[in-house]
Structure 1
Amino acid sequence: MADDSWTVSNTISGGVFFHQVIQGRNITVALPPKITPALSGLPAPSPTFTGRDAHVEELLDALAPREEQQAVLVAPQLSRVAVAGLAGVGKTELVVQVATRALREPDWFPGGVLFVDLFGYDPERRLSPEQALDGFLRALGIPGEQIPSGLQDLQRLYRSALAAFIEQGRRILVVIDNASSADQAAPLLPTDGITAVLITSRHTLDIDARLHDLNVLDTDASIALLHQALLQARGPADMRVQENPGAAAAIADLCAGLPLALRIAAALLADAPTRPLTSLAQALRTEHSRLDRLRREDRAVRAAFDLSYQHLRTASARLFRLYPLNPGPDLSTESAAALADVDAFTAEEILQDLNRAHLIETFGSAWGRWRMHDLVRLYATDHLKQEGRETLIAARSRLLERYRTLASAASTHLASDSDCPPSLLFTDREKALEWLENERANLVATVTTAHETGAAATAASLAFSLAGFFEQHRYFADWTAVTATALAILQQAGDYQNAGRAMVHLGIAQRELRQFDAAVLLLQTAADAFAEAGDWHGRAMALDALGVARRETREYDECTNAHTTAAAIFSEIQDLRGQARALNNLGSALREMCQPGKAIPVLSQALSIMRATGDNRGDAMTLVNLGAALRETGKFEQAVTLYGEAIPRLRETHDRHGEALALHNRGDALQHMERFSEAIDDHRQAADFFQNSQDYHHLAKALASLAGAYSGDEQHSTAAEISAKAVEIQRQLAHADPAVNTPELARTLCLAAWVRRNGQHDLATGLTMVEESVAFYCDLGAETSPILSTHLRMAQELRAEIFDLLGRHQ
């Protein structure tokens, strides 16, 4: 019976990551066999919540599932509500309360909740739609290395994942907090009409959602909130609100009904259990000023902040003032210790004090991370001027030096070809990666705000330390942002050697984003600049990266020239690892140019050097390339043996992409040996990885090879289905970039036609495909290209065979 892993049955057996699959427009994306509801990101609801009953009921009514939703008949906006109101009015608390209640309702949201704070009004911490979608996809269980970088690709994967949850009866609630514009929020909105969404913003957003305005609390509700907060903090014995309702009303009025201010006022009273409410009310009347960002009835809010700040101990007040020096969205206890120049135990005591005063709050599911409400952060920023310039410079330097030191230490655990031993600051690779993930937003903000914070030297160092992490975990947008900033800093400082290095990194990042024109320009500019400066190592590094970019655009003469020159320079300056990498890239290019006989000795030399220098990851990838060259010369057993050596080494170095390439190549060799079931298994594993990483280019190739393996195994219907998927993906790629991808589309069409000829299945479609392939090769000028002319001749011969078979059948 035919294996239906890539057919319409929507299951994949033995997938690398997933079993259930999501069918998108162009590809299938797999889901984990079991997904835990993504509840960890939803903040805990406050036990002191009052005055919002009508709002809660209205929002719950909008979220409740309806029978007609099963037929997708309900307009999407009925499941979307945008809550708008003044900063600090309690928008987030309202949606958290509603979301918590909705999650407790049976069968409302069995898929869980996705929560994101967009920090829309903070220019330094503001999340882009790409960053928010990245976080959502990770919460849905998709590994980071499989998440794409472009907005459209992220949206496609996100919406496909939500659709799959719906198909499984696992409706999800999406909570989008603190959006500043429709442009920021709209890309995060589901389009299925069933997935529910709650959005908060200080503005009325022009999006397709039900609008819900949230105003300040009235006096009665404000007094009730004050009373509840005191009871929560001090217990039922605290009767001050009931004993002096007039003073409580005065405090409520001075706080302008703003829940944030009321909670701070309650915390002040809780800290001083013998203080009369009249004392606080009098103080609020006389100690106030305007909070810059709060435009409406803000004077009492500033007064509440003033009093809360004045109530702090000296050490707490100092850390409160220093907190905004951290450019990112949150702060670890250890980073706070660096800011304040105290030990971690003392820092935690201070942070707890600030937390009790409602001036910061805990952040995330793991203990030891803190964040400050944006209004409070603005207030704290105003008080930075109380610190002397030298104090601020010293505090910022301590924090940034911590980031720089630990990022550099973490990078030593990621590099497999470095002469530097792993740093002892992290016990192992996993701990290093955990720190990098937790601090990623802070590290990116440290670099990208370097011009404002005076952290130019640290920013450049951080950019280089983070390059390996960003590349291996596919944070290409972050990599581009930090490297572009570092490049500008280095050029301004006149550090042209490191500027060239940054230019190479930026070119590689843009190459990974398939922005080949920009990548080629950057890398060529870097190579020329290095040559002019007499930096031959830098020139060789840039030329080698340039050669890879040229290979992607099939400019093979320029590609081989770049790699040959790079290898010669590395040899001259005795950089053996650089020489081996350049030779490996040269051999890979020669193989793609249909010159495997020339590639084998080049790759063998590269492999010998890599083994002598201990470059484990380079060794593994060279084995893959050498295996491919041997396969193309008919030495299939040798090729399979080399792939068998490479695959476990790639796993050891955590190179999932390289492992998938090795599996794909081994599958091709196994097909030639007619070991079709093994080939199918390898191709499916490779395709699983490529589909979930949204690597369409390699996915199409893997699917084409998988179709060939199924055809060899005489599972012709399955082969035809899979080959059609490969063709569809290649069509989309060729539409997006005809110059680069049309040759591969022609090749894939020819293979799909061969599958049909081999199984004598749907020959009419096969003839149409091969005729289209011939037309593409002719349009591409195959007569001027030895490689394309060979492919054209094969397509023409296949067309004649299919035409003959059709005549016989008729």
Structure 2
Amino acid sequence: MPGQTSPFNDRLRTLRRAAGLTIEQLAERSGVSARAISDMERGHSRAPQARTLAALVGGLGLDDKAGAGLTAAAKQARFPSPAGRPRLGEPPRGVTDFVGRQAEIEIVRHAARQAVDGDGLPPVVVVHGQPGLGKTALAVRAANELRADFPDGCLHVDLRGVDATPLTSGDALLRLLRALGVRPDQVADSDDERCAQLRGILHDRRCLLLLDNAGSEAQVRPLLPAGGRCLIIVTSRRTLGGLEGVLRIALPPLTREESAGLLRSLAIQAANPQTAPLVDQVTDLCGHLPLALRIAGTRLASRPQWTVWQLIERLADAGRRLAVLSAGDTGVATAFALSYAQLPAATAQLFRRLAHIPATDFAAPLAAVLIEAALPDAEDLLEDLVEVGLLQTEGAHRYRFHDLIRLYAGERLSAEEPAGTRAETTERMNTWLLDTAVVAGRWYEPEYGGLPDGWAGLAPLATLEEADAWLRAEVDNWLPALRTAAADGRNQLVADVAAATHWYSESTLRWRGWWEVRRLARTAAGALPDRRQLAFHTSLYASTAVYLMGLYEEAAEAAMEAYRLAQSIGDLREQARALSAAGIAWLNLRRMDDALWAHQTGCELADRAGDHDLYVDHVVGGGHALEYLDRPDEAVREFRRALAELDRRPVGARPAVAVRAHARYGVASTFHRAGRREETLRAVEQALPALIENRDDDLVAFVLILQGKAQAELGQPAEAHANLTRALEMLADSLPSGLENEARAMLPTLDATGAVEAHAELTRALETLAGESPA
């Protein structure tokens, strides 16, 4: 046993003296350092590895018998009887119901193979992640599996990195040296000497070091060996980014299947296959966090009278969930609190105020608003939270909470900040979100199309693409902010957001959120004294009812309400806008004469108002009314007139793209209805580029259906089948339409036609072969 004399120590010394060699002479002959030989003879280190032992046998010039005796003594020293082995530093007991993590364990296995091969520096694996993920359980599992590959010891040190007073590196060195058999009186006094002592001992050893719960790089760095065939596994809530040349495993939550497996292994109520959907609900409420799942499973198992549904009822209350997920001295909130307690004041303030954010993910500018800080300072604080495992990154520039950590942040917010401060923070956040939404949305408005003069906001909105990206990324934040503003009676702000996103909504028509935006804006405008705003937002509401919801009767009524409002105040533009929505609704209700009147009247009103965008829009609408009135030549003339007006009138860039697409589509649709197949195909070819430029997937799909139907009727079943199939795939998430139904009805016929053609082709081929002589 290291630190005491043993048969190997005595035999090595006896054999050296019998050979008449000093320690220095044996070192020169064998290539083993004099320090190492001296330590072995005095029992200050364990017996050597096989290659070092072979070098000593050669240096001593031993015959086979003497060499075998020294080897046997070395083996006895390296693997003493269990009763004599030191028990210091033994890893903690592993869990018996460990699930999943196979990919992560395989990474550790690979590192172990590298360590045993002895190529380069001993590998270091850092397992990091948020509290409760089972980092220690994974490390212990891997260590127990691999300990046979490291016969010189599997040593564990809890560095207590999240305690108020973490273990110092000097104390950690002392524990490791004692676990390696160094007597207390032989341990060096200074940390630097202890570090060198540890490295010297490990240089010729095969040990596995489990450095658990590390709090910083400074704790870990002195404990890492510089040589030898060792493996080091470090667990930490931090990424320990300052450690170089290490392999990092970012531990994620368990998968749903793994979570369910863990819960079933803990509680018999969850093992019943009939409870599978309920078990999935429990795992979701636990955020797939192993610690939470273990507590929930244990709570269920200790109460056999409970059902899984009763556990769900307790967990479903977000205000009580963290309290439910606690047992004895263990709890999810307790685990989070250890990390929270270590945060500096500014970081702790940001952590709890992030609970104000309604969405699951967010970007740094919103964090800066919450704490009224400069953007670079907020980014630094967010990265600090990521480093300690209290926040996760989501892509390149966004962040998110784990669900349970979010609840904990909310608890801290309520406990540590007064209600008045919380209300001020919420209002500041919502105002910033809505003001930014207005600026972003106005990039799409013909009369704006850029940033307002002198605007210096936190969000990147320097281009239309950036504005689009912000509106999409933050929609789950600015829409709740709009709801709050509406509930608080901030009616003008609600109306401004809806107006500013008017043109933006044209490129995102499928998003169901526009229905709520329009309803809120219509109600808000009704509370304002400006009747023009009410007419405007009622028209937008009507358009959304048509395009998004398919509520044509309601849309027509709302549109005519807006028209009468605009008439009462003499606003020609709003009259024209209202008639646009009415015309579209009546087209869908097959009230074609009403639709034609609406668009022709609207065209005249828009012309008088000088609104060229609405003018060309009404020309296209009138074309569709004529199309459905079976007046194809007049309809095509109207669509082509709209295209010509785009060259004559100063129509805004974005409206021009939309009108060009709809007019081109109208020509193709009119030829299709008139049964003019060749002209339909030519019109489709002209329409597709404009439709693609307009980014309207529904219209692209509709024109592909027109193309497919024409191809089918012209005897091109394969081409028709391909176009119709593609169109139906594009319309999978859209409202049902007559064209879509026609395409679905036609596909089986095309399949049958294709089969008949294939059979005929095969028959012709066989007949041809039958007439040929054998080769």
- TM bucket (normalised to shorter chain) is 0.5 to 0.7
Distance 1:94 1:321, change over 3 A: closer
* Shift, 1:644, TM fit: 1.1
Q: Distance in 1 between matches of 2:273 and 2:758?
A: 39
Tell me the SS of whatever aligns to 1:331.
strand
Q: TM-score, normalised by structure 2?
A: 0.53
Tell me the SS of whatever aligns to 1:373.
helix
Indicate yes or no: 2:363 matched with 1:332: yes
Partner of 1:408: 439
Which residue identity lines up with residue 447 of structure 1 in the other structure?
L
Distance 1:343 1:556, change over 3 A: same
The answer to which of 469-478 and 558-567 deviates more is: 469-478
Q: Map Cα deviations across residues 316-361 of structure 1 (whole Å, 9 max, x no partner).
A: 4554565455454443211111333322220123334556777x53
Partner of 1:688: 729
Partner of 1:661: 702
Q: How does 1:211-290 map to 2 (within 5 A)?
A: 216-219=325-328, 252=329, 257-260=330-333, 262-267=334-339, 271=342
Q: Distance in 1 between matches of 2:436 and 2:613?
A: 26
Pick one of 398, 402, 412 that aligns with 1:368. Answer: 398
Partner of 1:641: 682
- Aligned-residue CA RMSD in angstroms? 4.6
Tell me the SS of whatever aligns to 2:314.
coil
Q: Map Cα deviations across residues 93-125 of structure 1 (whole Å, 9 max, x no partner).
A: 249879xxxxxxxxxxxxxxxxxxxxxxxxxxx
Partner of 2:376: 345
Q: Map Cα deviations across residues 397-441 of structure 1 (whole Å, 9 max, x no partner).
A: 47633543355325636x7xx354455954666544433232111
Which residue identity lines up with residue 337 of structure 1 in the other structure?
A
* Shift, 1:549, TM fit: 0.9
* Shift, 1:203, TM fit: 3.5
Indicate yes or no: 2:514 matched with 1:489: no
Partner of 1:177: none
Residues 437 and 478, structure 2, Cα contact 8 Å, conserved in 1: no
Partner of 1:59: 264
Distance 1:50 1:463, change over 3 A: farther
Q: Distance in 1 between matches of 2:352 and 2:338?
A: 22
Partner of 1:203: 314
Q: How does 1:286-325 map to 2 (within 5 A)?
A: 312-313=344-345, 315-316=346-347, 318-319=349-350, 322-323=353-354
Residues 711 and 720, structure 2, Cα contact 8 Å, conserved in 1: yes
* Shift, 1:548, TM fit: 0.9
**Structure with larger Rg:** 2
Q: Distance in 2 between matches of 1:532 and 1:427?
A: 40
Indicate yes or no: 2:564 matched with 1:528: yes
* Shift, 1:587, TM fit: 1.1
Residues 597 and 633, structure 1, Cα contact 8 Å, conserved in 2: no
Residues 132 and 335, structure 2, Cα contact 8 Å, conserved in 1: no
Q: How does 1:386-785 map to 2 (within 5 A)?
A: 392=424, 396-397=427-428, 400-401=431-432, 403-406=434-437, 408-409=439-440, 412=443, 418=446, 420-421=448-449, 425-426=460-461, 431-452=466-487, 455-470=490-505, 472-511=507-546, 512-612=548-648, 613=651, 615-633=656-674, 635-691=676-732, 693=734, 695=736, 697-706=738-747, 715=756
Partner of 2:54: none
Which residue identity lines up with residue 47 of structure 1 in the other structure?
G
Q: Distance in 1 between matches of 2:265 and 2:604?
A: 69
Partner of 2:410: 377
The answer to which of 560-569 and 662-671 deviates more is: 662-671
Partner of 1:47: 134
Distance 1:638 1:437, change over 3 A: same
Q: Map Cα deviations across residues 503-560 of structure 1 (whole Å, 9 max, x no partner).
A: 2222222222112232222222111111112111111111111111111111222222
Distance 1:44 1:510, change over 3 A: farther
* Shift, 1:448, TM fit: 0.8
Residues 82 and 198, structure 1, Cα contact 8 Å, conserved in 2: no
Higher relative contact order (CA 8 A, sep 6+): 1
Distance 1:369 1:472, change over 3 A: same
Residues 620 and 650, structure 1, Cα contact 8 Å, conserved in 2: yes
Q: Distance in 2 between matches of 1:43 and 1:531?
A: 62
Q: Distance in 2 between matches of 1:54 and 1:582?
A: 57
Q: Distance in 2 between matches of 1:352 and 1:199?
A: 39
Structure 1: unaligned runs, 5 residues or longer:
1-41, 67-73, 99-196, 207-211, 220-251, 272-310, 719-810
Residues 668 and 683, structure 2, Cα contact 8 Å, conserved in 1: yes
Which residue identity lines up with residue 373 of structure 1 in the other structure?
R
Distance 1:639 1:95, change over 3 A: farther
Residues 327 and 449, structure 1, Cα contact 8 Å, conserved in 2: no
Which residue identity lines up with residue 431 of structure 2 in the other structure?
L
Q: Map Cα deviations across residues 235-288 of structure 1 (whole Å, 9 max, x no partner).
A: xxxxxxxxxxxxxxxxx3xxxx4321x12442266x3xxxxxxxxxxxxxxxxx
Q: Distance in 1 between matches of 2:734 and 2:274?
A: 29
Distance 1:629 1:704, change over 3 A: same
Residues 44 and 96, structure 1, Cα contact 8 Å, conserved in 2: no
Q: Distance in 2 between matches of 1:323 and 1:628?
A: 52
Residues 460 and 490, structure 1, Cα contact 8 Å, conserved in 2: yes
Q: TM-score, normalised by structure 1?
A: 0.51
Q: Distance in 1 between matches of 2:737 and 2:640?
A: 30
* Shift, 1:683, TM fit: 2.6
Residues 527 and 543, structure 1, Cα contact 8 Å, conserved in 2: yes
Q: Distance in 2 between matches of 1:442 and 1:712?
A: 52
* Shift, 1:667, TM fit: 3.0
Pick one of 284, 289, 293 that aligns with 1:93. Answer: 289
Q: How does 1:789-808 map to 2 (within 5 A)?
A: none
Q: Distance in 1 between matches of 2:291 and 2:596?
A: 59
Which residue identity lines up with residue 493 of structure 1 in the other structure?
L
Which residue identity lines up with residue 133 of structure 2 in the other structure?
S
Q: Distance in 1 between matches of 2:134 and 2:757?
A: 62
* Shift, 1:622, TM fit: 0.5
Partner of 1:770: none
* Shift, 1:584, TM fit: 0.8
Which residue identity lines up with residue 684 of structure 1 in the other structure?
T
Number of paired residues? 481
Q: Map Cα deviations across residues 771-809 of structure 1 (whole Å, 9 max, x no partner).
A: xxxxxxxxxxxxxxxxxxxxxxxxxxxxxxxxxxxxxxx
* Shift, 1:572, TM fit: 1.8
Tell me the SS of whatever aligns to 1:597.
helix
Which residue identity lines up with residue 267 of structure 1 in the other structure?
S
Which residue identity lines up with residue 392 of structure 1 in the other structure?
E
Residues 674 and 712, structure 1, Cα contact 8 Å, conserved in 2: no
Distance 1:582 1:383, change over 3 A: farther
Q: Distance in 1 between matches of 2:672 and 2:287?
A: 62
Tell me the SS of whatever aligns to 1:369.
strand
Q: Distance in 2 between matches of 1:485 and 1:49?
A: 51
Tell me the SS of whatever aligns to 2:279.
strand
Q: Distance in 2 between matches of 1:572 and 1:518?
A: 28
